[in-house]
Amino acid sequence: MIKGDVVDIIYRNEENGFSIVVMDVEGDPIVCKGTFPAVVEGQTMSLDGKFIVHPKYGRQFDVTNVTICTPDSIDSIVRYLGSGIIRGIGPRLALRIASYFGEKTFEVIEFTPHLLAKVSGISKNKAQEIAEAYMSIKVMQDAIMFLQKYGITLNMALKIYKVYDKETVDSVSSNPYILVEDVDGIGFLTADKIAQNMGISHDSEFRVRAGVIYALKESVRGNGNTYLPKEELIAFASKLLTVDSELVEKAIDDLSVLRKVRLIDTENGVSVMLYSVYKVEHEAGYLISSIVDDGNFIDYDVSSELATFEKIQGITFHESQKQAINLAINSGAVIITGGPGTGKTTIIKCIIHLYMTMGKKVVCMAPTGRASKRMSEATGFDAGTIHRVLGITPDSENNCKEPLDADVIIVDEFSMVDIFLFRTLLTRIPKGTRLVMVGDKDQLPSVGAGNVLADLIASGVVPAVSLTHIYRQSMQSLIVTNAHAINRGEMPSLGVKDKDFFFMRANLPDEIASLTTAVASERIPKYLGVTPDKVQVLCPLKLGSAGVINLNRQLQNKLNPRRIDKIETEDYEFAVGDKVMHTQNNYELEWKIVQGYKVVEGKGVFNGDIGTVTEVDKTARTLVVTFEDGRRATYGGEDISELTLAYAITVHKSQGSEFDAVIMPIVSGSPMIMTRNLLYTAITRAKKTVVLIGEEYNIKKMVNNDYVAKRYSALVKFIDEAIDKRKILYGDKKPTTYEEKFDNAFGLNIQNNNETLET
């Protein structure tokens, strides 16, 4: 620990608090870097941390914790007051104040500010203004030190203070569990630790209620559930909180009255939903049933146009494909699902062609940037991400009801769409617009909550066509035939040479990891004649020798060994040239694209976006990532925690993407993870080559393991309810406006239902 006065500020980022300052520590000038609250010359601080030696700038103190102290010498008081931190006090007036009151200056400002008027140049009004400005700063500093006392980092303390301002200490002291709802990044476990340190009762009603909300949110985020059976929730929360089940049941009832949760009847008995999730899934159920119903009024014969398209393309559609195309033209909504080689892309091209022939406006979209880019390349028609087409931001996701200008909307890779994104999409579809959903029902479900594709098919309300016919050209690919074999529960062909599907035997995890690194960095790039960034390692596991973290480090050392300027995080270090992935939706992160002499600017980087680090400023602790679509985003402070190396990624993170080559290390793991559809999903991400590395025995275990994690979702229930209510309310007469449909059917005012779950 060191203590001293700030004598110079070399660098300051006001947004995240990162600073580089020079401290006078007993006459020794020391360069200190880290996150500071408001910092000015003359400020006295006590710093925790350690000394390091920077290769370019020499000896520095790396700060981990800051304690603000009141300046206690005349010189430091003059520097502090004269720094400009208090409006109206310059260096000269600061000197007069410090000379008059000496070391009691701050005591006077805080407790007897009227005495400041004795100093030449200070009126009674100005004395009051000085006192108010000083106290505003002191309240913030006291609040931050109060929070740090309970183990909250300075970054998070600053975040909390922005929410509660001068009420921070009172608000957090009375109920620290409010942090869970109000401050992004504070979870129940952190709030619970703070509460325990404050001496709040173990069975406090605030604690039990917060624990129930936490349990439901974890179920949504971690398991993709939109509800939990009440008995299951009670058991889980009781164990988590180590309290009696009666207290949990009472908390659930209280939360229901407070409209924080909703009790519903399901096939699993009485169940509990977060109220925000209930409104999202409830509305989605009504809207999709409405879209299907409102759109079924055309009986358009497409046979002639189909024949023309077949002739132009030199193809012959299978009957199931013709059925899918016909439904896309004549139904309000349709689902088209099928595995690789079944012609989904050709169907999309044909649907686009038919609608454009009719003079209709088509909008194409997909959940990720990679998927939308692939959709554009495959169809020759412009496609964007769902987020970008809808213009989703934290506010617009809930409030924007502006209808899309489209006669038909085609969504590819629909298996990735979660209930939140689905509901947002549905709210933007105008009356009479067609919705075509294309995907593969046998892939992994969406990372986000819900089971949208499976539920829509199960409901029987949305017409669905399953494509099973594999085209002769696709049959020549082992990737395609092996994917379908795996999906049927059959072993893939592993011993065929000169094809696009390879198996390399390795036993121990370390051996598998080493071979994976060599194949991904050297052998496959050479074999395909591509750069290593076109090759993707997909891992079933995060941890272990053959897991994501270790393989990322090995591949980074192989592909980007000369990392001079780098930024270190808990798991990785980032340097220019590194392949990285953004891991959560950040609607506020700014980006720009340089197009010749034109610069396009915008906001929003989303989960799964892959790019390359192109700049690193180690001093400012910022880096620039250039994404595959040309967007350049600058990361600093906590934003860096949203990045991970992407030489190796999990299979789940690969959804919606396609790579020239996929390398998959296969080791022994939990049956809940090492499943058939995980293997199937990984293989279907490859365009040209697949390499499986491991033991044949473990591949066989995955093929035979048809375990699919159960997800609790209520979309089918809400669709059924919507249909029943529409029949009761309207019979054959249809409501005319979106607001009328929703308000009349559910008794909810959509303009006031804007709560959502942060995901």
Report pLDDT digits (tens) over 89-119: 888 999 999 999 998 999 999 999 999 999 9
Q: Which pLDDT score, from 0 to 100, does residue 734 have?
A: 56
Q: Are 321 and 467 in the same domain?
A: yes
- 662-700 pLDDT, tens per residue? 999 999 999 999 999 999 999 999 999 999 999 999 999
Cβ within 8 Å of residue 693, ≥6 positions away: 503, 504, 506, 512, 515, 516, 519, 663, 664, 665, 666
Q: Which pLDDT score, from 0 to 100, does residue 473 have?
A: 66
- 108-159 pLDDT, tens per residue? 999 999 999 999 989 999 999 999 988 988 898 888 888 877 878 777 888 8
Helix axes 452-459, 715-730, angle to 10 degrees: 40
Task: Label residue 34 by pLDDT band (50, 70, 90).
Answer: confident
Across 733-755, average pLDDT = 42
Write down which residue in 657, 676, 704 finishes a domain: 704
- 643-672 pLDDT, tens per residue? 999 999 999 999 888 899 999 999 999 999
Q: How far apart are CA 510 and CA 514, in angstroms?
A: 6
- 461-513 pLDDT, tens per residue? 999 999 988 876 667 889 999 999 999 999 999 978 778 999 999 999 999 99
Assigned domain for 169 exists: no
Assigned domain for 281 exists: no
Residue ranges of alpha helices (H) inside 149-244 are 154-164, 168-174, 178-182, 188-198, 205-223, 230-241
- 498-509 pLDDT, tens per residue? 789 999 999 999
Strands 586-595 and 464-467, how do they pair? unpaired
Q: How far apart are CA 527 and CA 661, in angstroms?
A: 10
Q: Which pLDDT score, from 0 to 100, does residue 61 have?
A: 95
Q: Which pLDDT score, from 0 to 100, does residue 4 have?
A: 92
- 245-258 pLDDT, tens per residue? 999 999 999 999 99
pLDDT at 401 over 70: no
417 in Cβ contact with 756 (< 8 Å): no
Our CA dihedral for 168, 170, 172, 175, rounded to 10 degrees, sits at: -150
Q: Are 469 and 490 in the same domain?
A: no
CATH number at residue 61: 2.40.50
Write down which residue in 442, 457, 473 finishes a domain: 473
Q: Are 451 and 353 in the same domain?
A: yes
Least confident of 301-305, 370-374, 400-404, 656-660: 400-404
Residue 719: C-alpha distances to residues 62, 224, 454, 455, 723 (Å): 57, 19, 13, 10, 6
Q: Are 530 and 606 in the same domain?
A: yes
Q: Are 193 and 337 in the same domain?
A: no
pLDDT at 759 over 80: no
Q: Which pLDDT score, from 0 to 100, does residue 58 have?
A: 85
Q: Which pLDDT score, from 0 to 100, does residue 755 have?
A: 39
452 in Cβ contact with 418 (< 8 Å): yes
Q: Are 46 and 84 in the same domain?
A: yes
548 in Cβ contact with 539 (< 8 Å): yes
Task: Label residue 741 by pLDDT band (50, 70, 90).
Answer: very low
Q: How far apart are CA 200 and CA 196, in angstroms?
A: 6
Task: Label residue 744 by pLDDT band (50, 70, 90).
Answer: very low
Percentage of the chain exceeding pLDDT 90: 61
Q: Are 378 and 429 in the same domain?
A: yes
Assigned domain for 487 exists: yes
Q: Which pLDDT score, from 0 to 100, does residue 370 have?
A: 83
60 in Cβ contact with 31 (< 8 Å): yes
- 535-591 pLDDT, tens per residue? 999 999 999 999 999 999 999 999 999 888 888 887 889 999 999 999 988 888 899
Assigned domain for 439 exists: yes
Assigned domain for 737 exists: no
Q: Are 482 and 463 in the same domain?
A: no
- 590-605 pLDDT, tens per residue? 999 987 788 888 888 8
Helix axes 419-427, 275-295, angle to 10 degrees: 50
Mean pLDDT across the chain: 89
Q: Are 438 and 486 in the same domain?
A: no
Q: Which pLDDT score, from 0 to 100, does residue 289 have?
A: 92
Across 398-414, average pLDDT = 85
Assigned domain for 311 exists: yes
Q: Are 64 and 133 in the same domain?
A: yes
Measure CA 21 to chain center: 34
Q: Which pLDDT score, from 0 to 100, does residue 157 have?
A: 83
Across 43-47, average pLDDT = 89
Assigned domain for 719 exists: no
Q: How far apart are CA 250 and CA 230, in angstroms?
A: 12
Task: Label residue 36 by pLDDT band (50, 70, 90).
Answer: confident
Which helix (DSSP H) or strand (DSSP E) does residue 97 occupy?
A: helix 91-101
CATH number at residue 507: 3.40.50.300
Q: Are 207 and 231 in the same domain?
A: yes
Helix axes 245-257, 230-241, angle to 10 degrees: 120
Q: Are 580 and 686 in the same domain?
A: yes
Q: How far apart are CA 749 and CA 741, in angstroms?
A: 11
Across 708-713, average pLDDT = 92
Assigned domain for 741 exists: no
Residues written for the chain: 759
Cβ within 8 Å of residue 649, ≥6 positions away: 536, 537, 538, 539, 548, 581
pLDDT at 293 over 50: yes
Q: Which of 746, 724, 741 is nearest to 282 (CA)?
A: 746
- Per residue, the 3-state secondary structure of 492-554, as one string, reads CCCCCCCCCEEEEECCCHHHHHHHHHHHHHHHHHHHHCCCHHHEEEEECCCCCCCCHHHHHHH
Q: Which pLDDT score, from 0 to 100, does residue 333 have?
A: 94
537 in Cβ contact with 664 (< 8 Å): yes
**How many domains are there within the chain?**
4
Domain that holds residue 203: 175-258
Cβ within 8 Å of residue 218, ≥6 positions away: none
Q: Which pLDDT score, from 0 to 100, does residue 756 have?
A: 39
Q: Which pLDDT score, from 0 to 100, does residue 495 have?
A: 78
Predicted TM-score (pTM) of this structure: 0.82
Which residue is associated with the tokens 């213009």? 391
Write down which residue in 104, 130, 148 finishes a domain: 148
Q: Which pLDDT score, from 0 to 100, does residue 686 have?
A: 94
DSSP secondary structure code for residue 43 in this structure? -
Which stretches does DSSP call E strand in 606-680? 610-617, 622-627, 632-636, 643-645, 648-650, 659-666
Across 696-706, average pLDDT = 96
Q: Which pLDDT score, from 0 to 100, does residue 757 have?
A: 42
Q: Which pLDDT score, from 0 to 100, does residue 355 have?
A: 93
Task: Label residue 225 by pLDDT band (50, 70, 90).
Answer: very high
- 212-222 pLDDT, tens per residue? 999 999 999 98
